[in-house]
Amino acid sequence: MARRPPSPKVKAHTVLKHGESARPGRKLSQDAAKTGLGIQELKSLYSSVLTLKPLEKFHFPDGREEQVPADFPDDPLRDAMAKAFAHFKLDPEDPGSWKALVSYFSYIFFWQPPRQRSGAKAKWTSNRERELYEAVSTLPGLSDVQAAMKLANDKRSPFYVRGTSPSDGVRGLRSRIGKVRKKFDGTE
| 45-81 pLDDT, tens digit each | 666 566 777 777 777 778 788 887 877 777 777 888 8
Better-scored residue on pLDDT, 187 or 21:
187
pLDDT of residue 18: 45
pLDDT on residue 126: 86
Q: Assess whether 51 and 97 both reside in one domain.
A: yes
Please tell me which residue, 148 or 19, carries the higher pLDDT value. 148
Confidence of residue 10 (pLDDT cuts 50, 70, 90): very low
Residue 51 is assigned to a structural domain of this protein: yes
Domain coverage including residue 56: 8-110
Q: Is residue 115 part of a domain?
A: no
Kindly report whether the global pTM for this prediction surpasses the value 0.95. Answer: no
Supply the pLDDT for residue 16: 45
Instruction: Say if residue 88 is in the same domain as residue 138.
Output: no
Do 58 and 83 lie in a common domain?
Answer: yes
Q: In terms of domains, do 134 and 84 share one?
A: no
118 in any annotated domain:
no
Question: Nearest-CA neighbor of 108 among 4, 3, 2, 17?
Answer: 17
Residue 55, in any domain of the structure? yes
pLDDT, one tens digit per residue, over 68-121 is 787 777 777 788 888 998 988 888 878 788 888 888 888 888 888 888 777 777
Higher local confidence (pLDDT), 52 or 6: 52
Q: How confident is the model at residue 17 (pLDDT cuts 50, 70, 90)?
A: very low
Choose one of 81, 110, 139: the last residue of a domain: 110
Number of domains in the chain: 2
Q: What percent of the chain has pLDDT over 90?
A: 0
pLDDT band at 3 (very low <50, low <70, confident <90, very high): low
d(CA 102, CA 113): 19
Q: Is residue 50 part of a domain?
A: yes
Burial class (CB in 10 A: 0-12, 13-18, 19+), 16: middle
Where a domain ends, among 110, 142, 173?
110
- Does residue 1 lie within any of the structural domains? no
Count of alpha carbons within 13 angstroms of residue 169, beta-carbon side: 17
Instruction: Based on the fold, state whether residues 96 and 144 are members of the same structural domain.
Output: no
What's the mean pLDDT when you consider all of the chain?
75
Q: Is 36 left (phi over 0), alpha (psi -120 to 50) or beta?
A: left
CA-nearest of 44, 68, 46 to 57 is: 68
144-155 burial: b if 16+ Cβ within 10 Å, else e: beebbbbbbbee
Which of 110, 137, 152 marks a domain boundary? 110
Would you state the pLDDT for residue 167?
Answer: 65
The better pLDDT of the pair 151, 29 is held by 151
